[in-house]
Amino acid sequence: MDFRIRRARKGDLPELRRMRAALQDLLVDKDPRVYRLSQEFLGEIERFYGEIIAKSDSRIFIAVDEKDRPVAMAMVRVLDNPHMEPRPMGRIDDAWVEPAWRGRGVMKALTSACARFLVERKVRLVMLDWANNNPPSGECWQRIGFVPLMTMGFAAPEALVIPGD
């Protein structure tokens, strides 16, 4: 294996920002209608990731090459909503692998690190989202073990209004 997985550190924040921006660009390229982060938040993402890194109920794991350069990332959080079961629940977000590193098991290794983190916290279910217009992403997540259970629908409200109401 020509990569290893480790926890992200504050010194990784610029690379985390770069990878998250690349993820956003990919999603928008696949479908410009996709729900995405605001430009304002992208400008603050290093602060946000710094807070995630500091928390005990969340982690950002990165895959690094032999020179400790980040080549992939995944954020995992423990969510505890008292109105939902099971609780707590895990959530994986901001998963990205540099194109040159795809197909090498990097995302599977990152997901395993996230899963280990959740198992240690007695989390019984983990969820994530992938875009329907990005079949390679959906195929990757399903190979790893995720099963699609729900679909989210999006529409412009004016498109749903019945004329004359």
For residues 33, 39, 42, 43, the Cα torsion angle rounded to the nearest 10 degrees is 170
What are the structure tokens assigned to 103, written together?
A: 């197909």
**Predicted model pTM:** 0.91
Per-residue model confidence as pLDDT tens for the chain (165 residues):
699 999 999 999 999 999 999 999 998 888 888 878 888 998 899 999 999 999 999 999 999 999 999 999 999 999 998 998 889 999 999 999 999 999 999 999 999 999 999 999 999 999 999 888 888 889 999 999 999 998 888 888 999 999 887
* Distance from the Cα of residue 45 to its chain's centroid: 14
Helical residues (DSSP H) of the chain, grouped into ranges:
13-30, 39-43, 45-54, 106-120, 135-144, 157-160
Which domains does the chain carry? 4-160 (3.40.630.30)
pLDDT at position 27, please?
A: 86
SS3 of residue 87 by DSSP? coil
Q: What are φ and ψ of residue 13, in 5° steps? A: -55, -45
